[in-house]
Structure 1
Amino acid sequence: MHKLLTAVLCIIICTTGLYAQTRKPAPAQKGAAPLTKLYIIKDKRYIMRGDQKPFFWLGDTAWELFHRLTREEADLYLKNRAAKGFTVIQAVVLAELDGLTQPNQYGALPLKGNDPAQPNEAYFQHVDWVINRAAELGLVIGLLPTWGDKFNKKWGKGPEIFNTANARVYGEYLGRRYKSKPIIWILGGDRNPEGEQRMVTVRAMAEGIKKGDGGTKLMTYHPQGNSNSAGFFHSDPWLNINMFQSGHSARNQKSYVMQRQNYSLFPVKPTLDGEPRYEDHPVDWKPQQGYFDDFDVRQAAWWAMLAGGCGHTYGNHNIWQFFDKDRNEPISVARTQWARAMDLPGAFQVGYMRRLYESHPWTRLMPDQSLILNANPEDGGYQMVAVSEDDNFLFAYTPHGRPLTLDLARLKAAPLLLAYWFNPRDGRTELIGTFPNTGKQEFKPYAAGPGTDWVLVIDDAKASFAGYGLKRK
């Protein structure tokens, strides 16, 4: 009977074109209406849409989007990201790269006299256009009111222009202007709020935004590298989502550490890595150490998600700055034209991750490393697992393709199991088969080695979500 079921499932997978389908981009979410009301159910670790469906945050760092691109270029970029399955575009109003002194592509500066209380309407009309176009494509803008050097220079161009009073006024202006748009507010901007005065300034901006939009939008905080919003604002009621930045300093950076810390905090809040190692970024800013590649992207993403993320942000070193050798100088040894960098492999692969998650009731997943029974050193091949709170499916990630020995007794709701390997590099699946749940079981991928990562999926063989994208009849 088990062999027959396996054969039937294999036939269904092949005849429905599953292998081909996994290579297609995830479709954009149609219509902005469900996305204008994003909310969080109390004591839950994920975001909901206005149509009562879970919202998977799949972000891209497009920090200079409003500042460096024309409308035609922004449209090209946004359509590319929507087609790949991204859901959140993280962009900055007062940009990092001479954002106060160098106008946008239409000759407009954001502020009059560098005064946050005097926004320039021409500049914000362009911001409006980009936000509206994103909404038409089913994208949410993760909107940073300012880059962090405008309230904590520390490094970068600056200048510091914010104080408690004008931060509140500026926040209220933005909140009122974008009250009806699909927006998630991201305060901070690669800076920690060092000192009491800066903490007060950030809180004043949050208060202004809340007053302007009536408290209808979610809000988070983007800290600097190897830092965590929870360390500053976890107890603040305006902080709906915790965001950390695992950063760009090393390969095998343990992105799951801060994710685990946030997952265990009270009050419960969703959490995600808002800036992991960028694809095509020099390791630790030193080209002689090589550049992060698509494996680095996947490893950071799967580690963070299986540690309890409400989603994940991808980044590409050329795209955040929209590097164009004919228009601007490269920042930190950028080397690829942004329009070409849009199709580097990591951008496709995070979309495959989203598709696998959304083929299951993913909001019910809980991290549980106790299911891994084999030796599991915390190196680049560190394995992670998350299991459904209903005890009927799990995902396990093995970055170097090492065998996994799992305690399947936890899946007590599933006496008959279906197992398959999901290839996070190309989105394809390899069916292992069905078998009775007898507890301990070893699974060995058919290829191994650094960069040869796999996701093991084990389902209740009788569940409707069995199989990647497969709906059983």
Structure 2
Amino acid sequence: MILQGRNALWIYWSCLCVLIVSLICARSVNAATPQRLRVSDNGRYLVTDKGEPFFYLGDTAWELFHRLNREEAELYLSDRAKKGFTVIQAVVLAELDGLHTPNAYGHVPLLNDDPTRPAVKEGPDNDYWDHVDWIVQRAEELGLFIGMLPTWGDKWNKKWGVGPEIFTPENARIYGRWLGRRYRDRAIIWILGGDRNPENDRHLAIVRALAAGLAEGDGGAHLMTYHPMGGSNSATWFHKDSWLAFNMFQSGHSAFNLPNYKTTLALRDLMPIKPVLDGEPRYEDHPVNWKQGKDWFDDWDVRQAAYWSMLSGACGHTYGNHNIWQMYEPPRKPISFARTPWKEALHHPGSAQMGLMRAILTQRPWYRLVPDQSLIQGNELEGADHRRCARSIDDVFVLVYLPTGGSLRVHWETASREEVQIWWFDPRTGRIHDGGRKRPGESLALRAPGSGRGQDWLLILDKVSAGLTPPHVAR
């Protein structure tokens, strides 16, 4: 019995050791080979290297590398990962004097403002790039991609801001090659531009040289896009460039109810087909049109922009908070009237509600949605009340976003003789309201559970015969 017990104990420990070694090896392999992204075969959305649809839910943390130390970066990244974000958009050569004002550890990125001379020192954890490495790796461990901007736009088209302009087509390619090589094995999406539009041939040459250098450095491992100024989009200059994997636009912060769905629809119709998303919509807690006063964008504005664009065929969406992109906290000088310390702003409701949006949309094959306003009967509403409608390509389910609730009539021709299950999703709380079942006939007359500003609702219509799982969101 003793021998048998010892043998059993030996077998147990042997198996446990094998398991531990296997887990360590698996972790090492995963660390060395992070997930890759590519464009879907139909050109409408992004997929992982496993072929799984990838929901791009971004957050703008432009000053992440420049202003936060590692403890702060951990706080920020962990919060965004828990809320369901998948991409963090951050800038290597940052906007707020990123060339000359040191990072949290006293380091600057370049020697003498020369893009061909990154300030890399011997040894671990003692330069600017070591800190960027740490953040990129930590994000990857949390399941996040870094949407990495190699530089803010003022370094090649100052126009406004700090600058200085340091890029030429020649050094942009060298810098891109170095950067691409350094991060070729990390979970990265390259985002060129940096809130600037090219205004001449030299600017175009710089951007294209940077793209070429990145591709040479990473061997084409990562997707690329372009972040333009407010009211602009990447397709204007680069749609037919092979390096531009998907289009990004910035609907911006200049007014309430900016109809970003119009840009989404327009870019979706371009040939060749490429995915599209709003990479900088109205930020939560941002003064409308940059004017200090009573008008500030809130979480309703955030939700309105997000659902409008998603139901118009976007491959994802980016959230932003005015305090977080700049990592504002006293005694730092607030940019454009920032008023909330960033650690407090982490808890503004809009960010969690973006996670709820991703959760509800991924309850159904969102990537198979087709914009279809024809399902809404009657005169279409404009401005704040504008509803957006999309149906699945196989006509199994329909989604309608009502930014101010109220009533509507839906004529779903392919379901006119079938029973339809009605659900109302509250995008503020994630609660699901069961609206019962109806047989549409000519149309469905429906009324949301509430109406008015701040009372937005997502209507979900399912064909009962399809046997879809009732929507549910863990809150």
Per the normalisation by structure 1, the TM-score is 0.90
8 Å contact kept, 1:34–1:50: no
CA distance in 2, matches of 1:142, 1:181: 11
TM-score of the two chains, using structure 2 as the length reference: 0.90
| Alpha-carbon distance between aligned partners in 1 of 2:142 and 2:244, rounded to the nearest angstrom | 27
Of 186, 204, 208, the match for 1:203: 208
Alignment of 1:427-442 (within 5 A): 427-442=430-445
* CA–CA distance in structure 2, aligned partners of residues 440 and 309 of structure 1: 27
User: SS in structure 1 opposite 2:410?
Assistant: strand
| Cα-to-partner distance string for 1:75-108 (whole Å, 9 max, x where unaligned) | 0000000000000000000000010010101111
Contact 2:34–2:185 under 8 Å retained in 1: no
Q: CA deviation at 1:415?
A: 2.3
Work out whether 1:282 is the aligned partner of 2:287: yes
Task: Tell me the alpha carbon deviations over residues 171-200 of structure 1, each in whole angstroms, 9 at most, x when there is no partner.
Answer: 001111111111000000000011111001
In structure 2, what is the Cα distance between the partners aligned to 1:226 and 1:133? 33
Alignment of 1:97-246 (within 5 A): 97-121=96-120, 122-246=127-251
With over 3 angstroms needed to count, the CA separation of the structure-2 counterparts of 1:106 and 1:346, relative to structure 1, is same
Shift of 1:461: 1.9
1:33 deviates by: 8.1
Q: Is the 8 A contact 1:43 1:267 kept in 2?
A: no
Distance 2:186 2:472 in 1: 31
Structure 2 unpaired stretches of 5+: 1-29, 121-126
Match of 1:351 among 329, 352, 355: 355
Following the alignment from structure 2 to structure 1, what is the Cα–Cα distance between the partners of residues 216 and 259? Answer: 38
Q: Paired residue for 1:59?
A: 58
Aligned partner of 1:403 among 395, 407, 422: 407
SS at match of 2:306: helix
Aligned to 1:27: none
Letter in 2 for 1:452: Q
Aligned residues: 438
2:456 to 450, 453, 456: 453
Aligned positions of 1:83-94 closer than 5 A:
83-94=82-93
Aligned to 1:424: 427
Q: CA 1:355–1:379 in 2, change beyond 3 Å: closer, same or farther? A: same
CA distance in 1, matches of 2:145, 2:138: 10
In 2, distance between residues paired with 1:134 and 1:223?
25
> Among the aligned pairs, what percent are the same residue?
53
CA RMSD of aligned residues (A): 1.4
Distance 2:401 2:394 in 1: 20
- Retained in 2: the 8 A contact 1:385–1:394? yes
3-state SS of paired residue (1:91): strand
* Equivalent residue, structure 1, for 2:21: none
Deviations 1:136-180 (A, max 9, x none): 000000000000000000000000000000000000011111111
CA distance in 2, matches of 1:232, 1:432: 47
Residue from 355, 364, 367 that aligns with 1:363: 367
Shift of 1:384: 0.6
Gaps of 5+ in 1: 1-30
Amino acid at match of 1:65: L
Shift of 1:435: 2.3
Q: Which residue does 1:392 correspond to in 2? A: 396
Counterpart check, 1:465 vs 2:465 = no
Determine the structure 1 residue equivalent to 2:252.
247
Is contact 2:425-2:458 (8 Å) kept?
yes
Separation in structure 2 between the aligned mates of residue 53 and residue 383 of structure 1, nearest angstrom:
29
Instruction: Choose 87-96 or 402-411, whichever is displaced more.
Output: 402-411
Structure with greater contact order relative to length (CA < 8 Å, sep ≥ 6)? 1
Q: Which residue of 2 aligns with 1:374?
A: 378
Equivalent AA in structure 2 for residue 418 of structure 1: Q
**Is residue 315 from structure 1 mapped to residue 315 from structure 2 by the alignment?**
no
Q: Is the CA contact (8 Å cut-off) linking 2:102 and 2:108 kept in structure 1? A: yes
Check conservation: 1:64, 1:322, Cα contact below 8 A: yes
Q: Hey, what does 1:296 align to over in structure 2? A: 301
The one-character-per-residue Cα deviations of 1:374-398 (angstroms, maximum 9, x if unpaired) are 2222110100100000011011011
User: Quick check: 2:184–2:217 contact (8 Å CA) kept in 1?
Assistant: yes
